Amino acid sequence: MTGARPGAYSSRVRQTHRRLTVVALLLGLFLAAVEMTVVSTAMPTAVGDLGGLHLYAWAFSAYMLTATVSVPIYGKLADLRGRKPVMLTGVALFLVGSMACGRATTMEQLVAFRALQGLGAGAIQPMALTIVGDLFDLKQRGRMQGIFGAVWGVAGLTGPLLGGALVHWLSWRWVFYVNVPLGLGCAAVLQAAYHEEVERHDHRLDLLGALLLAGAVTAVLLATRSRATGAWALPAAVLLGLLFVFVERRATEPLLPLDLFAHRVIGVASATGALVGAAMIATVTFVPLYVQSVLGGSPTAAGGAIAPMAIGWPVASALSGRVLHRVGYRPLIRGGLTVSFAAALGLALLLRPGAPGWLPQLLTALYGVGLGLANTPTVIAVQTSVDWNRRGVATASTMFFRTIGGTVAVGILGGLLAASLSGGPATAEQVEQLLGPERRLLDPALLASVSGALQHGMERVFWASAAIAGAALAVGLTFPAVPISRVPPPAVAAAPAGKE
């Protein structure tokens, strides 16, 4: 283990069983990685049971918001108190949130408990990667990165299928209960196998910045609910956003170092990442809803519709890492974003009642290929544009914008869907019946009317998502030239997208 740099976390790990510790970290990462796709599969059925279609997108937004904003706070706490207690706290919050989600009786409760889940998830991924950095030298980290990246690929592939099976054979509530044995196993093995001695350093938590950012994003999401809400929520979002910038410019250790964005590479990468995250999360969120409600597919079919994205992404990401040193950054970024835009356009144009089941699978696979091609060179270009001691924060900032983009987009598109359905021929209760067992009891004429109303709303959502993907391509075309001679070794370049 290398010596600690001034002002950085320093610990002497003794009597740590490294293999068992890695097993615990892999369990924790799988827990966090599988959650998004599993819940995407289960949410249409949950809405059919609980009602509250207008809050459908909030179940995703609340989770992503708390997970994203809490990541920098957990990082600072790990420097102050050590990695292990922060990781165990995150797992505990995640499990409490999971159990509470499984027992929710209203959509409002489910949204609140998903936010609690997100608070736990915000600790799991960064702590797992940080512990790996503490335990292994640079050469070994490359191998570990490949293993951890494979976990994300497996989670993305199995999540939709697992979610569909649990919903079909048990209940949507088991999508949350299944987290408990995994989380308890992670905590027990980590407690027994990993030991650290913490040399504490003076750090300041930017709690005010985190609260202002969370408030600004929440205000944006609230503004999508109705015109009356938007009349006060949008000005509040602008005010909170300006206050956030003011605080960050003066904070000793800001949540988001604003001077990073003076680098054109980081500025363009962050803007592109926010738009890519918006389009990607919209696809993962709304395609299963479309398959189950409009196409009348089962929960398993809904999950299977997005599973191919999890195959195309890591495969294309590994390919782009291997050819990066020959073709350069910009061709891969531009080509990948073009493919993703084409897939998003295909979803808007081709998803219609009666569409074959393989169509959304093909388009989401294509979507994943495009994202995988573009993401790896984007992250590596960011990492090569800053010094070593800022590489971690630069990478985290890029990922931060991607998640924030997804959080805001899902909320806005959910509001767009709700607005499309309000005042139409179908009531919210009738639409929710499409997602539950009551569907087969609906009169055929009513079923056609309700399905048509939802089809109209979903069309608007997919066209908006395609516009976002087009904007990501437009911004990506401005990506600056970065010297290819600075490309890191292939072991790093080939890491699956978004999991660095």
The predicted pLDDT at position 497 comes to 35
CA distance 76 to 81: 9
- Domain identity same for 171 and 238: no
b/e 203-239 (16+ beta carbons within 10 angstroms → b) = bebbeebbbbbbbbbbbbbbbbbeeeebeebeebbee
Q: 351 and 238 in one domain?
A: no
Crossing angle, helix 107-135 and helix 138-169, to 10 degrees? 160
Pair 153, 310: CB distance under 8 Å = yes
Domain that holds residue 55: 17-194
Of 150, 170, 194, the last residue of a domain is 194
What b/e sequence results for 174-198 when a residue is b if at least 16 CB atoms lie within 10 Å of its CB, and e otherwise? bbbbbbbebbebbbebbeebbebeb
Mean pLDDT over the full length of the chain: 74
pTM score of the predicted model: 0.67
pLDDT value, residue 447: 65
pLDDT at 492: 35
Q: Which residue did the predictor score with more confidence, 363 or 452? A: 363
What does the alpha-carbon distance between residue 296 and residue 412 come to, in Å, rounded to a whole number? 25
Domain CATH for 46 = 1.20.1250.20
- The tokens for 154 are 């497996």
Predicted local distance difference test score (pLDDT) of residue 91: 87
Is 222 contained in some domain?
A: yes
**Phi-psi label, residue 154: left if phi above 0, alpha if psi -120 to 50, beta otherwise:** alpha
| Count of CB atoms situated within 10 Å of the CB of 428 | 15
Q: Per the domain annotation, does 4 fall within a domain?
A: no
Note whether residue 57 is domain-resident. yes
Q: What are the structure tokens assigned to 444, written together? A: 């055929």
Cβ partners under 8 Å of residue 301, min gap 6: 164, 291, 292, 295, 357
Q: Residue 275 is which amino acid?
A: L
Distance CA 291, CA 293 (A): 6
Is the pLDDT at 17 greater than 80, yes or no? no
Q: Are residues 47 and 166 in the same domain?
A: yes
Whether residue 183 is found in the same domain as residue 303: no
Same structural domain for residues 391 and 493? Answer: yes
Residue 318 or residue 3, greater confidence = 318
Distance CA(54)–CA(421), nearest Å, equals 9
β strands within 284-391, DSSP E: none
407 and 291 share one domain? yes
Which among 198-202, 215-219, 472-476, 482-486 has the top mean pLDDT? 472-476
The residue behind tokens 């170092």 is: 257
| CB-based contacts of 138, cutoff 8 Å, min separation 6 | none
Is residue 379 assigned to a domain? yes
In a domain, 6, yes or no: no
The predicted pLDDT at position 496 comes to 35
7 confidence band (pLDDT: 50, 70, 90): very low
Give the pLDDT confidence of 254-304 residue by residue, as tens digits: 767 777 777 788 888 888 888 988 888 888 878 887 887 777 777 677 777
Average pLDDT over residues 81-106: 85
pLDDT of res. 340? 92
145 shares a domain with 94 = yes
pLDDT of res. 83? 75
How many whole angstroms from its chain centre is CA 132? 22
Are residues 152 and 225 both part of a single domain? no
Q: Quick one: 110 exposed, middle or buried, by C-beta within 10 A (0-12, 13-18, 19+)?
A: buried
Q: How many CB atoms lie within 10 A of CB 85?
A: 16
* The last residue of a domain, from among 144, 165, 194: 194
Res 118 pLDDT > 70: yes
Residue 114 domain-assigned (yes or no): yes
The answer to whether residue 21 sits within a structural domain is yes
On whether both 215 and 113 belong to a single domain, the answer is no
Domain closes at, from 147, 165, 194: 194
User: What does each C-alpha distance from 212 to 237, 257, 270, 382 come to in angstroms?
Assistant: 9, 15, 20, 26
Residue in the block written with tokens 């991607």: 402
Q: Tell me the C-alpha distance between 417 and 166, whole Å.
A: 27
240 lies in the same domain as 315: no
Task: Tell whether 273 and 387 lie within a shared domain.
Answer: yes
Q: Which residues contact 239 (CB under 8 A, 6 or more apart)?
A: none
| Residue 16: predicted pLDDT | 65
Give the tokens for residue 251.
């904070």
pLDDT tens for 141-153 read: 545 555 665 666 6
Q: Radius of gyration of the chain from Cα atoms?
A: 22
Domain count, the chain: 3
On whether both 188 and 225 belong to a single domain, the answer is no
Task: Give the DSSP letter string of 310-330.
Answer: HHHHHHHHHHHHHHHHHH-HH
